[in-house]
Amino acid sequence: MNATPIDGSAWETIDFISDLHLQMAEPATAKAWFDYMASTEGTRADAIFILGDWFEVWVGDDDADPFAALCTAVIRQRAKGSKGAKPCELFIMHGNRDFLMGVDLAERCGATLLDDPTRLEFNGTSYLLTHGDALCTDDESYMRFRELVRAPEWQAEFLAKPLAERKNIARQIRAQSQAQQTQAASYADVNEALALEWLNTHGCDVMIHGHTHKPASHKLGGGMRHVLSDWDANAEPKRLEVLRLTADGISRLHLI
């Protein structure tokens, strides 16, 4: 498993977000993301990394859903820059909800589709970027599901089905997942030993990931593990957090 390297030496401000789970049924969260992408805070970033679960579900790049088209237009506009804002490099990574995002979608967005994991070099530090689900090995049922749906053969067979059938299957899988989450006490956390093994294998100092919905910063061997928040504009308090990286280090930006 090789972590594709990215050189961030030309950037001053890098933002990381994940687990937005954008969908028509959650317009407040979608609007919060739209506003961030166009806001003064959002336009400060030279690069924005969406580390998985940008969408609640993605059944293939041939889906012409109007909401997805709007999200694509927003990210494309941010990549180009507008109203005096500087252009921004956009990166998207597969999550456990939108693992079928493809190159066609990335090209429509003006974004780069990332491998998981990806290595980022910035200001003399190596950062290992991952969605995080592959590290949650204690969730055995999910790991079996992940192995199935990440197989090229399964994906080719699924994407060959009619769009309506794919959407129906996705709804069934989502309903099952929601039922399991209701029964579970909390989201599974990453296996710390495996996370440290990944960090050492790739020669990185810091790991940044999402998936667990447990935003915090932890020591990991001689380095750190920073966990991204999920986004929910209807929660109390709202969960709309950006992890920001500059030459001064890591900070957490809480959007209102």
Residue 173 counted as domain residue: yes
Between helices 140-149 and 152-159, what is the axis angle to 10°?
70
pLDDT of residue 181: 59
- The answer to the question of residue 97 being in a domain is yes
- Residue 87 falls inside a structural domain: yes
Full domain range(s) for residue 101: 11-254
Residue 197 lies in a domain: yes
Q: Is residue 127 part of a domain?
A: yes
Distances (CA, A) of 68 to 59, 71, 124, 202, 215: 11, 5, 37, 34, 27
- The pLDDT score that the predictor gives to residue 2 is 64
Give the per-residue pLDDT at 183. 52
User: Does residue 3 lie in a domain region?
Assistant: no
**How many whole angstroms separate alpha carbon 220 and alpha carbon 218?**
6
d(CA 92, CA 51): 6
Closest CA to 65 of 98, 37, 87: 98
CATH code for the domain in which residue 221 is found? 3.60.21.10
Domain count, the chain: 1
Q: What are phi and psi of 7, to 5 degrees?
A: -95, 115
DSSP string, 62-96: T---HHHHHHHHHHHHHHH--TTPPP-EEEEE--S
> What pLDDT score was predicted for residue 6?
96
Local confidence pLDDT in tens for the 256 residues of the chain: 566 789 999 999 999 999 999 999 999 999 999 999 999 888 999 999 999 999 999 999 999 899 999 999 999 999 998 767 789 999 999 999 999 999 999 999 999 999 999 999 999 999 999 999 999 999 998 999 999 999 999 999 999 999 999 999 988 888 877 766 555 556 689 999 999 999 999 999 999 999 999 999 999 999 999 999 999 999 999 999 999 999 999 999 999 7
Which residue reads 């199935």 in tokens?
A: 148
The answer to whether residue 5 is domain-embedded is no
Q: List the beta bridge partners of residue 206.
A: 127, 224
Output the pTM of the full model: 0.95
